[in-house]
Structure 1
Amino acid sequence: MQAEAPTRPTFWTISYVGEAVFYWLAALVLLVFAYGVYERFARYTRGSEDPFDRLAELPERVGTAARIVLSNEKQFDRDLYAGVMHAFVLWGFLTLFIGTSILAFDMDIWTKLLGQESFFQGNFYLSYSLVMDAMGFLFVIGVAMALYRRYAVRHERLWGKHTSREDDAFIWTLFLLGVGGYVIEALRIAGTGFPEFETVSFVGYFLAMVFDGAGMSAGQAESLYWAGWWSHSLLALGFIAWIPYAKPFHMISSFANVVTRDEKAGSRLPGVPADLDHVNAESIDDFSWKEILDQDACTKCGRCSSVCPAKASGRPLDPRDVILDLKSYRESLDAGETESKPIVADGGVIASETMESCMACMACMDACPVEIEHLSSFTRMNRQLTDEGAVQSNMQDVFGNLMQKGNTFGDPPRKRADWADDLDFDLTDAREEEVEFLWYVGDYPSYDDRNKKVARSLATLFERAGVSFGILFDDEKFDGNDIRRVGEEFLYLELAGHHVETFEDCEFEKIVCTDPHSYNTMKNEYPEIDFAEFADDPVMPFEYDEYWNEDAEIPVYHWSQVVEQLVSDGRLGLDGTELDYTVTYHDPCHLGRYNDVYEVPRDIIKATGCDLHEMPRNRADSFCCGGGGGGLWMEFDEEPKPSEERLREALEDTDAGSAVEKFVVACPMCMTMYEDGRKTGDFEDDIEIVDVAELLIEALDAKAERTAAGDDTRPATAD
């Protein structure tokens, strides 16, 4: 063999009968595999229609999904160890799969069917062997890293109520396949007299030297090869047949899930059609095919659970368990192993209090490496609870206030603009005069005493910068974002219809919102509503019968985006030396994760001269205040409150530690939750909660005082 072109026998020591048996088994396995995949995808056709076109521009979707999956970017997020581990496993597995496919093509098609000379020799063989050994080695290392984390470290998020022997079988099978391949290779190298060219198979060659050093003869290696080859082959064939029926199917379903993802998932929720078909969760068949695919794509990695603020606060919600509970129930129902029961109810598949616990913060979706859209399924179940009236009494009161008064406080609409009475200038009525910016103030800045100060600060900023703006006064109502996420879709439609109808009667160029929640729904969700479906419904208090702002011709901004531009243009006259507070900034979920606005508020804070220190969980990793998804109005038995945990993080885990003087927010709901957390967590003497707008006004006042005193260089000091 030394004198021949480098190659190796494929079925060394395997008889023609054995080869025939192998091909027969392989054909059977492929049939079992194909049937299993067909059955899996056939299930999705039984799901309801998804409201979004998930297959539009499919080639582009596949290309983007391939980039996401092959780069392992979601696995590296927040967890370098897991990223390296998964990259080694994925790239190694794909290389081994491609290498095996190349070998099969050479053996079965190129040489046997086409009658060509085998290309599996010479330099090709040497290159092939080197790559396969190198990437296979990375595969084994990656699987070993997974075993170490799962069994030695016992990483908490890898274990849960749905952890089973299936998980053990999956990881150990991969390990045995990886190691077994090298054992077979080493036996062949030792049994064929250590061909010099086989040094390119450096892992197998090294292992063969170990066998030789242990006293194994060439004859013994040849004898063991037969048993080892069949053991390895049967394990590999069994694994392939098993893929569609267990956890390994995520290798297919996860990629399909990434291909069919909605890039705006969460920030826009699936709407409710006028015919009310499959909008709630009365049965498992009400879930859309994409929601069923979400369930199959879950790998039980626990990333969603580890970042969920509801779970961290002791609320009875684990996003992973909700998705897997739905999957287990569906599979048990299909197999006739369980009886039909309510999807979401006390004693149902999912408990009512579990869904009430969700803050709609999107942390689970941001952390998920396979793009599961938790909020779509969660909102469907919340709609079921709301439809049945099975929500907390506090939420029922909020719904009543909105229906009667148009705001969540239940205060008279005529008092909506009373917050502006203390201003030394009059606000423009956008219903009567043309303005550049229609300012949607929002409920909490209009009615909550603490947030009224923020509204006045923002109005003052606009006035000092010479911005043309106006408000709707008593024609403004609650935006509807959060009651929609609680499940009250039709009340949301009433509010949205009222607003777009009011907008049509005003003359303005842009909309600016105080609250990120308002900004999100007006930017991402109002344009998605087909108002024509509901305009003729006598229950709906509007006649608008078109899509509104479908082409985004009316820009919608959060106020920080507008003010940051004013600062950049020099219209506020800041020089970056006005204040010297040590501060930290909290990213609101609806501004950050929902809409990727992270740097704008930070740029404003830095423009005031403040020393900004980041909390460990910042930007996309920000920890929710607890107010989203109706949490602002509900009562929970939780310890600690999300707001208390976040304030603790600011004072203890931030680099500046207890030197942090101000906790800066950019959301009225965050302001409310953190003012409450400051009291209940006993942080009143340790830190102050301020809005970015208030900080900016203080900076402008400080600059004015210094200018009046003839000193433009001395920064203001903390009280």
Structure 2
Amino acid sequence: MPVLQTDAVTRETFWTIGPVGEAAFYYLAAVAILVFLYGVYARIVTYAAAPADPFARLDDLGKRVARATRLLLTNEAQFDRDTYAGVMHTFVVWGFLTLLIGTTILAIDMDIWTKLLGQDSFFVGDFYRSYSLVMDALGLLFVVGVGMAMWRRYGVREARLWGKHTDLEDDAFVLTLFALGVGGYLVEGLRILGTGFPDFETVSFVGYALALVGRAAGLDPGTAEAVYAVAWWSHSLLALGFVALLPYAKPVHMLTSMANVVTRDEKAGKRLPGVPADASPEEIGTGSVDDFTWRELLDQDACTTCGRCSSVCPANEVGRNLDPRDVILDLKAYREARAAGEAEELPIVADGGESVVAAESMNACLSCMACMDACPVDIEHVRQFTGMNRRLTESGEMDPHVQDAMMNVFQQGNVFGDPARKRPDWAADLDFEVPDAREKPVDLLWYVGDYPSYDDRNRRVARALARIFEAAGVSYGILYDDERHDGNDVRRVGEEGLYEMLVEDNAAALESCEFDELVCTDPHSYNTFTHEYPEMADDFDYPVSHYTEVVERLVSEGRLPLSSSLDYAVTYHDPCHLGRMNDVYEAPRELVRATGATLAEMPRNRSNSFCCGGGGGGVWTEVEEETKPSEERLREAVEDTDADVETFVVACPMCTTMFEDGRKTGDFEDELEIVDLTELLVEAMDAPVGSVADGATSELPE
């Protein structure tokens, strides 16, 4: 005969399990928790033994935890670009947290409130009804969410979920979660059936429904009671095993990803750590597992293998030897194999020979930060990639074309290798003189940059912007031959020493001038002046703007004689360093609209923009490939944009260079015209800047 519940609105937690079974459960639970805590402790010890991180990671801890908690509960990072994943993850997280909290409440009632404190159980009446309803509802969300994950993984076989690091652990993880969710309901259904369907248990609507199904299938209360203990122990042992093994297997990301979000650097990728002044050449960069900081180790452990970074990486999309996820997980796998004595010592990165990461992969990285922007757990890929680039540089294994560009910068202060005295030659064809900021105070100190100064195609951009400043009556000036390369991409290819020299030279040149605001033509300059120079140069605290922000301000103030005369459709490409890294999205678009042109957005725009291929030294390299990133972006503009677009607008000299090249190699010369935003504005002003279709072309420096 089944053991019936009393009339109280509650349930017997260890129904049919008995005192011996209850004691065994508590023993196993204690063992599971101890194993879990030791695993967490071992990881903390590993992180603590690693080198310190150069950036503050625990300042404003309250705000950090609050932000991480908000992201955990809202799942906004998972919703980004993937609504299905967002809904799925929300169901799983909310369901899991509810079940965890519910189990904790039950343990408090049983073990502390009643046994330790001797109070009457609160797990009765309305509290029990509310508890049961919430647990069943949110538990159902959990099962549905895990089911959605299984469907995406095994049903439609989402490509980004599969890779070289996908293995049986992934299957075991998702199947265990599903078994835990479904198993809990089966245990509940057996109990409800075995106790004679108490009326108050209807609030446990999922378990009650399963009990009804069981009865309809011929399962009687006595059989339900007999099966219950087996089902209960199976469910309990699976849950305790999951808890115990969590720090040792792939589910550890449930802990490490939260820690990663809490300890994020809000400027990650926009700024990079420096090199200690006393570091010897062999100590610069990432050469062995001992070089990883604790945060870099945490990065590797936090990876959920979701593949979001891989799916947005432009280098990966065009078939280059770079998958951001694989690089992070290769480093983790090698580190763990070394710790277990299962792998021989290898260089972390090398050009040729056996290494953990191939130099080709690092050369392919464009430092566009698309991977970091897409990562839901704030992994700082570019930071780790730069560490490996520094090692390649110090070991003399830099890409030859990049090495030539670096030599030009070292000798002449620019990547073209032309004399510094020729830097202001772009202004020779203007019918006015560009002011010298070294000779008189100005409101705007205009940092022109290498490409607008030396590259024939981009010189037209410099002249267009000069005309805009003149037409608006702006007080501005340039540094003439005292200007040097900004160093943003010099740093990202690993030449930290050269970067420090450029910072010193440019900071000294700026310090000799009197101005209110520093304005940049190139978003790469804008980025490093904004985020990196202040940490490298004393008293570098100038307001920094991109020219689109300044000109948009002039237009809004009515200072620029601009007519809305352009009546054709254009599309606008968000440069990585302007948009994704620095959130400048609206100013360029407002300027496009101010010309009268119709703005047609490409599918990948704003933070989801697709890199031109020029960042991270890409503008200086030559890669034999079927499709270049610039060609893929132009294809998107032609084929995937809603309007019939013939004008492709950019706001970055490097983008201009890459897209002019891709326009030729991709056979888009008859379909698209590459126009800098300054040139579009001057056209709307009816100023004679010439057609982009004729004249010089943009060339890569040899």
- TM-score with structure 2 setting the length: 0.96
Partner of 1:617: 604
Pairing 1:558–2:538 present: no
Partner of 2:186: 183
CA gap of 1:117–1:703, structure 2 versus 1, over 3 A, is farther
Secondary structure at 1:268 match in 2: coil
C-alpha distance in structure 2 between counterparts of 1:581 and 1:618, whole Å:
20
In structure 2, what residue type is equivalent to 1:86?
H
- TM-score with structure 1 setting the length: 0.94
Pairing 1:676–2:687 present: no
Cα offset, 1:91, TM superposition: 0.4
Query: Matches of residues 454-493 of structure 1 in structure 2 within 5 Å?
Result: 454-493=461-500
In structure 1, what residue type is equivalent to 2:444?
F
Secondary structure at 1:685 match in 2: coil
Pairing 1:44–2:47 present: yes
Partner of 2:700: none
In structure 2, what residue type is equivalent to 1:555?
P
C-alpha distance in structure 1 between counterparts of 2:659 and 2:49, whole Å:
45
In structure 2, what residue type is equivalent to 1:636?
V
1:46–1:285 contact (8 Å) kept in structure 2: no
* CA-to-aligned-CA distance 1:413-462 (integer Å, 9 cap, x gap): 11000000011100111111111111100000000000000000000000
Cα offset, 1:3, TM superposition: 7.1
C-alpha distance in structure 1 between counterparts of 2:254 and 2:5, whole Å:
41
C-alpha distance in structure 2 between counterparts of 1:188 and 1:548, whole Å:
72
Pairing 1:289–2:305 present: no
C-alpha distance in structure 1 between counterparts of 2:221 and 2:116, whole Å:
34
In structure 1, what residue type is equivalent to 2:685?
L
* CA-to-aligned-CA distance 1:582-609 (integer Å, 9 cap, x gap): 1000000000111010111000000000
* Percent identity between the two aligned chains: 67
* CA-to-aligned-CA distance 1:56-91 (integer Å, 9 cap, x gap): 111111111111121101000000000000000000
* Structure 2 stretches lacking a partner, 5+ long: 695-702
1:436–1:469 contact (8 Å) kept in structure 2: yes
Cα offset, 1:392, TM superposition: 1.4
In structure 1, what residue type is equivalent to 2:104?
S
* CA-to-aligned-CA distance 1:244-299 (integer Å, 9 cap, x gap): 00111111100000000011111011111212275411211111110110000000
Instruction: Select which of 111, 115, 122 maps to 1:112.
Output: 115
In structure 1, what residue type is equivalent to 2:544?
V
Partner of 2:309: 304
1:526–1:548 contact (8 Å) kept in structure 2: no
Query: Matches of residues 87-98 of structure 1 in structure 2 within 5 Å?
Result: 87-98=90-101
Cα offset, 1:302, TM superposition: 0.1
2:562–2:681 contact (8 Å) kept in structure 1: no
C-alpha distance in structure 2 between counterparts of 1:495 and 1:104, whole Å:
62
Cα offset, 1:465, TM superposition: 0.2
C-alpha distance in structure 2 between counterparts of 1:423 and 1:51, whole Å:
47
1:2–1:196 contact (8 Å) kept in structure 2: no
Cα offset, 1:47, TM superposition: 1.8
Partner of 1:249: 252
Instruction: Select which of 592, 596, 617 maps to 2:583.
Output: 596
Partner of 2:699: none
* CA-to-aligned-CA distance 1:82-103 (integer Å, 9 cap, x gap): 0000000000000000000000
Partner of 1:444: 451
Query: Matches of residues 162-311 of structure 1 in structure 2 within 5 Å?
Result: 162-276=165-279, 279-311=284-316
In structure 1, what residue type is equivalent to 2:296?
E
Instruction: Select which of 11, 14, 28 maps to 2:17.
Output: 14
Instruction: Select which of 304, 313, 318 maps to 1:313.
Output: 318
C-alpha distance in structure 2 between counterparts of 1:548 and 1:442, whole Å:
22
Partner of 2:567: 580
In structure 2, what residue type is equivalent to 1:123?
D
Pairing 1:627–2:577 present: no
Partner of 1:342: 347
Pairing 1:605–2:570 present: no
C-alpha distance in structure 2 between counterparts of 1:501 and 1:691, whole Å:
30
Secondary structure at 2:519 match in 1: strand
Partner of 1:515: 522
Pairing 1:33–2:36 present: yes
C-alpha distance in structure 2 between counterparts of 1:573 and 1:429, whole Å:
24
Cα offset, 1:702, TM superposition: 7.4
C-alpha distance in structure 2 between counterparts of 1:116 and 1:259, whole Å:
38
1:188–1:222 contact (8 Å) kept in structure 2: yes
C-alpha distance in structure 1 between counterparts of 2:522 and 2:259, whole Å:
35
C-alpha distance in structure 2 between counterparts of 1:612 and 1:703, whole Å:
23
Instruction: Select which of 59, 62, 79 maps to 1:59.
Output: 62
C-alpha distance in structure 1 between counterparts of 2:136 and 2:368, whole Å:
45
C-alpha distance in structure 1 between counterparts of 2:172 and 2:448, whole Å:
56
Cα offset, 1:638, TM superposition: 2.2
Instruction: Select which of 697, 708, 711 maps to 2:682.
Output: 697
Partner of 1:715: none
Cα offset, 1:574, TM superposition: 2.9
Cα offset, 1:395, TM superposition: 1.1
Secondary structure at 2:620 match in 1: coil
C-alpha distance in structure 1 between counterparts of 2:514 and 2:438, whole Å:
8
C-alpha distance in structure 1 between counterparts of 2:539 and 2:275, whole Å:
16
Secondary structure at 1:416 match in 2: helix
Partner of 1:371: 378
RMSD of equivalent CA atoms: 1.4
Partner of 1:127: 130
C-alpha distance in structure 1 between counterparts of 2:89 and 2:386, whole Å:
31
Cα offset, 1:548, TM superposition: 3.1
C-alpha distance in structure 2 between counterparts of 1:510 and 1:601, whole Å:
19
Partner of 2:359: 352
